[in-house]
Structure 1
């Protein structure tokens, strides 16, 4: 506040000096007087300021003292309150901890009791389950042992069967019978009985017979059919040598076994060519049937061998699948030939049907004319004759239905029947 007053006085003095510059310059006494007055004002202001500052310090000291005393009282009250709170909290905590200890002890006791009960129950269940599982395991082991014994018996039987099959396949005649049986089954499935024959003498004056021969249509009228010889071959021993060489991964053994297989197949093809091919009673080629696809695949892999067999021996090598395809093609050819043979009969039947149809057309035309004549006669009766009768009877009175029925009962009966029909 004092500083504001001092500032205001300074501003007033400066304004007076600025407003009266000439008077100050002309009158030094006034200026000195003004300065003296200003000095006295400063002295008063300084005195007042010192007094105010002293009063402020005293007041601040008193306020600070009061604040310290108030703070001390507040701290004492807070300390007392805090101590009471701490005491109360400690008592409460002790009570809570005591209750918690008691509850925890009861919980531990209950838990131990429950765990003991669970242990007893688990022991009982484990014992029962263990006994059941052990019994089940023993039963399962017993059943498996019985199954193993049964399997061993079956394996022994299978071994005996395999041994028997090996003995059968070791016999050349039996191997040939296996091929013949498979060939016979294919022919029975794909051809009609009259389309092939078994054990056929293809050469005149020779006792050699081919296992099966398909009857193909003859080339001319002099010969009704021509035989296509089919012979089954099964070079088991040579094929087994080749398989063993493949298993051993021995290139030299594979080459040797392959050459032996080619030689054996050529001998078999020559046997078929020399024994069974006799044109024109037979075709100029025969079929060698290999009953297993594995052997056939080995032969097909050797394209030069196939060409040699066809060129030198006129023999075509087939497997089960290939022979089935050939027989299917022959069956389609047989059906086409049958259609061609019966085409003349079909045309004859169509000619007879055409003749009969012409007769039926004439009869229908006559019937149409008769119907037209009858229709004209009916129209004449219904038209001209009816109108003439009506003209003759126009002067006659018409009777009621009851009177007409009384005179002509037959008309009444007919009228009733007509009414019933209309209703």
Structure 2
């Protein structure tokens, strides 16, 4: 409604400005027309006076001529009348000439005025046409704004009616909670679980979300969309009604804190800290309650309830996500360490077997060299004598060499020694 009033006020101001502009233009042209009209009246008056003077002179001349004619009728009546007629005709011609000149001058003076009046009329028509077009566009704009406002009002009313239903409110709160945890970079069924059911002392409990922490710990989050009184405060027409609705809104949130504290969700999970996060899905909902009760958050913490808005919950979840990253880094480092230990443990018997193999190779080399020495000193000399006895066509026996290289000892065998 305020937006519509502002639009109507803006339209009134625009129409007032256009009216003032038209009035100023009309006043300016009327003043100029009045001045020209005054000049025209003045010239007409002069012309009228001249005509009157001419008629007076004409009458005087006529009277004079009649008098002269009466006095000299007997002598030169015809001649005098002829002269008088010529004189009268001459005066008439002069008067008509002056009248034509005055008329031409008057027409020349009136023509700019006529042109100015025509231009002024054209300008007035153009201004009126533009004003009509602007008013038409303004009317269409106002109608469009009115239609949009009405559509927005209906949609807002529909949304408000829907949010007053508990099941819609609950679904909206849970949806907002899921969006926040996903915004923080968490993954479903890995970093958090939804609608986890548990039983505590014959009581079935189902928190909205359980956030998993490193070392198999959990944080419980429950979403509460406290909307009824807040919507009443928004729709309130007076400040007093708004204040009453906000007080009721703060009390409703306090009641949700007490109800959540009675459920003792922290006893449902073995590694859960002794608190539960109460998620408010909209910043304005929490701000409106804090406007009435500034100790709301502190009082809730005394009941082991931490009230969190989307902004504060994102900060907490970001910290938890960072903790998970550090935990994964730690797990990877531990896995590398365990693999290194396993590799070291497997390397030890392999090196031991390799050292035993080296020892056996060294023993085999020694036996080979001893056999070669015995063969060279005792067997081969006798075999060479056999060739000297008549077997010169036989190929000489090859010269055998002993193995001079020894097996390289390992650090493992040295440490054993």
TM-score tier, shorter chain, comes to 0.3 to 0.5
Greater C-alpha Rg? 1
| Structure-1-length-normalised TM-score | 0.47
Which structure carries more relative contact order (alpha carbon 8 Å, separation 6+)? 2
| Structure-2-length-normalised TM-score | 0.48
